[in-house]
Structures are given as structure tokens and as C-alpha cells.
Homo-oligomer: A and B are copies of this chain.
């Protein structure tokens, strides 16, 4: 049993990531939902939909934001990132 699974949110439909989070939380103690740039909004949607409709017993343990540098030379640019750590509440 792994301790920390990672799910990268991109441009697929929200529900496909929700399914991935639910599956991951059934085998792992905690799951990190990660996203960059425009997908940050989708990552928050994934967590909120999972919590509201699929697994009401999950807790948001930590949210952190940051910046990553993508590309090289003239094409280099800064992209914002988010990491949301979820776990199932022990009850």
C-alpha cells in the first residue's frame, strides 16, 4: 500500500479525475492533486466534486501554491502550480 499517490489534473473532463482520486483514496492513505496554469481551477473543482458527491469523509490536509519555470531561452515562462493533499478522515 503506497502512502502518497499523485494525480495530475489537466484538460480532461473533471469526472475522469474525480474517479482517479476516489480509486486512489481506496488504496492509499493520502492523495496529492496537482495542477499547473489554467488547470488549477479544474483541480479545485475535482477536489470539491469528490468531497461533495463521492467521498464526503475526505479531508483537505494541505494546499500549497508555487511557480514553475517552463521552457528554455526566449520561450521560458513562469507557470503557477497548486498541490492539494487529501486524506480519508479516520472515524
Chain A residues near B (Cβ < 8 Å) = 37-41, 44-45, 47-48, 52, 60, 63-67, 78, 80-82, 84
Q: Which residues of chain B have C-beta atoms less than 8 A from A80's C-beta?
A: 41, 44-45, 48
How many monomers of this chain does the complex have?
2
> Within the complex, what minimum Cβ distance (angstroms) separates A58 from chain B?
12
Please state if A78 and B65 are interface contacts (CB–CB under 8 Å): no
**Most interface-central of A37, A45, A47 (chain B CB within 10 A):** A45
Please state if B48 and A78 are interface contacts (CB–CB under 8 Å): yes
Q: Which residues of chain B have C-beta atoms less than 8 A from A60's C-beta?
A: 64-65
Q: Considering the chains assembled together, what is the distance between the CA atoms of A44 and B34 in angstroms?
A: 13
Please state if A65 and B38 are interface contacts (CB–CB under 8 Å): no
